[in-house]
Each structure stands twice: as structure tokens, then as C-alpha cells.
């Protein structure tokens, strides 16, 4: 963006050196297409399209009228929120967490993921990223001055990193893992986590696990937490979110849990940036955590139906894509006749009024793929397939 100004205001080197934001062109083209009045189907945004569950909204209505909730919140959140998170974690993963020093509420999990490197990474420390990855990791490692080492996720290995390659990397300070994964929708197994934790413990690598999609799973197979592994708590911190589980992306609430020293580092950074989560939202969050697990089955079924609809639709066009086991992304190899993910996304928008995300925007190993979301009503997904029929 160029801004005409009489003063010479320069962005900091830190900002200038951020990895390039590769979605910029597709964002621009999308806005322009909308401004032209074209009916765009946006399979680019990973944001649930259905509303927050009604009992959570009711809890919020009550809590917002209570003046006790209008003041600065405690940095560490309401004690009851932390004990409720501990209870939820125990029920879901069978893992005990101490609410006093192993759980820390966040203003959305992205906030915590982005602040953590400032507490544990020194300039030039090596940080391992599985590639492709959620873009916020790259930016926050860069802000802390860390050096990114990409560990590619390959289809042949179920989009899990090659642990032999990991064992060969010297002097890494930390590593990000994200399962269920955005953008590939891949899931991890307990066996994988066991090996990963063993290597990390041996080499002294801090593990940063992002489980934003823990409850968006299909075919009844629940994704495990890295904290289920014995000894993981010595080296791991895991990030959880209310956003995707309860359709609460706009509310901004999540939590970090795991190693107390890592939690303390994050808490110290945060205490200098923010003053806690709006307490009314914390109260609503307690209600959210008390949702009966079965109540989320409808949501999962809805995504599962949409997944099948889109996968079968694409298959009918000769575009074979394996169905994801979790999260709400279809990670598809480029269809025949397309060379790059950017070119594919541009062509889909131009010729089919369809937005998909070019894989290369998630990192070099994302080239050769596009990401489509299923956070869109079935009719629109059907329409998307119809439009693709004309160009594939
Ligand atoms: C959506 C998402 C998040 C962010 O969730 P918030 O809690 O809303 O900040 C974190 N990680 C991944 C991989 C995501 O896709």
C-alpha cells in the first residue's frame, strides 16, 4: 500500500522483514469482483458460517448486565473458568491439569500463539515449522527474531513431518505442530506424538501444539492431545480455542495449557500487552465448556455432509481428492492443466467466480495445492461444483 503523505513515516525493519503476505493479490481481486457486483462464492475463509450455540448467547446476555463483569478482568482469568477448562480437559483427553499454573486463558488462541515466541525465542534461535502452516506462526517467530526452519508435510506421510529429518536438525529451540491441521486437515496419532515427544525431550526442543480444531472431527474418530503422552508436560504447551468448536470466532476466547514454565513465560509477555478477556465472555465461556459433547454432534454431522458433498462433486469432475478426517478444509492437488496454486486461484476467480486459497500462501511446501473450506451452505457448495464443471 502506498500512502501519500508529507512526512516520511517508515515502517519498522521488523514489519518490513515480515514474510510476504501471499494472499494479497487474491484478496484484491476478490474485493474488486464483489465491487463489480459479481456473485462470488468464497471458499477461502476458515470461519464457521452458522451462529454461536444458543445457550452460550443466553449466558452472555445475562453476564453482560452484571456490573461485576464490566471492570478489568484478572490477567489469569476467572478461577472458575480455569477449573472448568481443567474438567473439560480431563473428560476429553484424560489428562489432569493444575488450574493454578498449567492453564492460561487467552483472547483467542491466535493471540497466545503469536505472543509466546516473545517469551521463549531469542534473536537467531532456530524454530521448526511444519510446512505448510497457519500464517500467524511465521509472523510471530519473525517478530521475535527467530530463524524459521521448514519441515515439509508430504502427502505420502499423511501430512505428518518426517521425524528422521527432525532428528537431524541441530540446536532447534522450539517446534510448532498443528493437528488437526490447517491447511491440510490431516490428523495425528498417539504413536506419532509418542515419537515426537521422545525426540523433543532428547534434543531439548519446546513443542508448541495448536489444537484449534480438536472438536471438528469426522467418522467418530477423536483427535488426541499431545499432553496425553507421558513426559509431554515437561516440554510442551498446547493451544485450544472456543472459536471453531462453538462457532465463537468473533468472541475471542481460548486457552494455553501444559508446562508451567512455558505458561509463565506467556503470562509475563501478555501482562505487558493486554488486561485479560472481557469477563462477561469468560462467564459465557464457562457455559460453553459445559455443553454436552453430544450437542456438538449436529455440527460435526453438518460439516461431514458438506465434506462428502464437495468431495463427491469434485470427484464427478475427475478431480480426486481424499476426504479429510477432521477440520473444515479440503486440501486438493491442483487439477490437470494448472501449474501453480496462484494461477489456479486466479483462474477460478476469473472464470468461475470462485475463491479458493493458493497453497503456496501457507509456505513453500503448499505449492501444488489449493485449500477450500466447507464453512458454506450445501447449496453454495453444489453451485461451486457446477461452476467448476464449466472450466475443468
Ligand atoms: C482458526 C485458527 C486459530 C485461531 O483461533 P482463535 O482462537 O480464534 O484465535 C488457531 N490456529 C489455527 C490453525 C486456526 O486455523
263 close to 237: Cβ distance less than 8 angstroms: yes
Distance from the alpha carbon of residue 8 to the mean position of ligand 1, in angstroms: 36
Q: Please identify, by atom number, the ligand 1 atom nearest to the C-alpha of residue 182.
A: 13
**Ligand 1 pocket by Cβ (under 6 Å):** 46, 108-110, 134, 178, 182, 210, 212, 241, 243, 249, 254
Task: Output the nine-digit C-alpha cell for 291.
Answer: 455443553
**Model confidence, pTM:** 0.96
Distance from the alpha carbon of residue 151 to the mean position of ligand 1, in angstroms: 21
Q: Which of 52, 110, 136, 181 to mutate to test the pocket of ligand 1 (most atoms within 8 A of CB)?
A: 110
CA-CA distance, 113 to 158, in Å (whole number)?
24
Q: Please identify, by atom number, the ligand 1 atom nearest to the C-alpha of residue 254.
A: 7
Q: Please identify, by atom number, the ligand 1 atom nearest to the C-alpha of residue 244.
A: 1
Q: From residue 177, how far is each of 42, 255, 260 by CA, in Å?
A: 27, 16, 19
Task: Output the nine-digit C-alpha cell for 184.
Answer: 491440510
Q: Please identify, by atom number, the ligand 1 atom nearest to the C-alpha of residue 253.
A: 7
Element (H, E) at 15: helix 13-16
Q: Please identify, by atom number, the ligand 1 atom nearest to the C-alpha of residue 111.
A: 9
CA-CA distance, 192 to 188, in Å (whole number)?
6
Q: Whose CA is nearest to atom 1 of ligand 1?
A: 212
Task: Output the nine-digit C-alpha cell for 146.
Answer: 527467530
Distance from the alpha carbon of residue 33 to the mean position of ligand 1, in angstroms: 27
Q: How confident is the model at residue 4 (pLDDT cuts 50, 70, 90)?
A: low
Distance from the alpha carbon of residue 45 to the mean position of ligand 1, in angstroms: 12
CA-CA distance, 328 to 183, in Å (whole number)?
9
Q: Half-sphere exposure of 323 toward its Cβ, with a 13 Å CA cutoff?
A: 16
User: What are the chain's domains?
Assistant: 13-51+294-389 (3.90.1150.10), 54-289 (3.40.640.10)
Q: What is the pLDDT of residues 239-264, one digit of tens each?
A: 999 999 999 999 999 999 999 999 99
CA-CA distance, 288 to 63, in Å (whole number)?
13
Q: What is the pLDDT of residues 303-316, one digit of tens each?
A: 999 999 999 999 99
Helical H segments across 104-258, by residue range: 109-120, 135-143, 163-168, 190-203
Q: What is the pLDDT of residues 307-365, one digit of tens each?
A: 999 999 999 999 999 999 999 999 999 999 999 999 999 999 999 999 999 999 999 99
Per DSSP, the three-state class of 12 is coil
Amino acid at each position: 500500500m502506498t500512502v501519500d503523505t508529507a512526512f516520511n513515516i517508515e515502517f519498522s525493519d521488523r514489519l518490513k522483514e515480515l514474510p510476504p503476505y501471499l494472499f494479497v493479490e487474491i484478496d484484491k481481486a476478490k474485493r474488486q469482483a464483489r465491487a463489480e457486483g459479481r456473485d462470488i462464492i468464497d471458499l477461502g475463509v476458515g470461519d464457521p458460517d452458522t451462529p454461536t450455540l444458543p445457550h452460550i448467547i443466553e449466558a452472555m446476555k445475562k453476564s453482560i448486565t452484571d456490573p461485576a463483569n464490566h471492570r478489568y478482568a484478572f490477567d489469569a482469568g476467572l478461577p472458575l473458568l480455569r477449573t472448568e477448562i481443567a474438567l473439560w480437559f480431563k473428560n476429553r483427553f484424560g489428562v489432569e491439569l493444575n488450574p493454578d499454573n498449567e492453564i492460561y486463558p487467552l483472547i483467542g488462541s491466535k493471540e497466545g500463539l503469536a505472543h509466546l515466541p516473545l517469551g521463549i525465542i531469542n534473536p537467531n534461535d532456530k524454530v521448526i515449522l511444519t510446512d505448510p502452516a497457519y500464517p500467524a506462526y511465521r509472523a510471530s517467530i519473525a517478530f521475535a527474531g527467530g530463524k524459521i526452519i521448514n519441515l515439509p508435510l508430504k502427502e505420502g506421510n499423511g501430512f505428518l513431518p518426517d521425524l528422521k529429518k527432525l532428528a537431524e536438525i541441530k540446536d532447534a529451540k522450539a517446534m510448532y505442530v498443528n493437528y488437526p491441521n490447517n491447511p491440510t486437515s490431516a490428523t495425528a496419532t498417539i504413536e506419532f506424538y509418542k515419537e515426537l515427544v521422545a525426540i523433543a525431550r532428547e534434543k531439548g526442543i519446546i513443542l508448541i501444539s495448536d489444537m484449534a480444531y480438536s472438536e471438528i472431527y469426522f467418522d467418530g474418530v477423536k483427535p488426541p492431545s499431545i499432553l496425553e503422552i507421558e513426559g509431554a508436560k515437561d516440554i510442551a504447551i498446547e493451544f485450544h480455542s472456543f472459536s471453531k468448536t462453538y462457532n465463537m470466532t468473533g468472541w475471542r476466547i481460548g486457552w494455553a495449557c501444559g508446562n508451567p514454565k512455558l505458561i509463565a513465560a506467556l503470562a509475563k509477555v501478555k501482562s505487558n500487552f493486554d488486561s485479560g478477556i472481557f469477563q462477561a465472555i469468560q462467564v459465557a465461556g464457562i457455559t460453553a465448556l459445559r455443553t454436552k459433547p453430544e450437542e456438538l454432534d449436529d455440527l460435526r454431522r453438518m460439516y461431514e455432509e458438506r465434506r462428502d458433498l464437495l468431495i463427491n462433486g469434485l470427484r464427478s469432475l475427475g478431480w480426486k481428492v481424499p476426504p479429510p478426517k477432521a477440520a473444515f478444509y479440503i486440501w486438493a492437488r491442483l487439477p490437470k492443466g494448472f501449474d501453480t496454486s496462484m494461477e489456479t486461484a486466479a483462474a477460478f476467480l476469473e472464470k468461475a467466480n470462485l475463491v479458493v486459497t493458493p497453497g503456496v500462501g501457507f509456505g513453500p511446501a503448499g505449492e501444488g495445492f489449493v485449500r477450500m473450506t466447507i464453512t458454506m451452505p450445501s447449496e453454495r457448495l453444489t453451485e461451486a461444483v457446477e461452476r467448476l464443471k464449466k472450466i475443468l
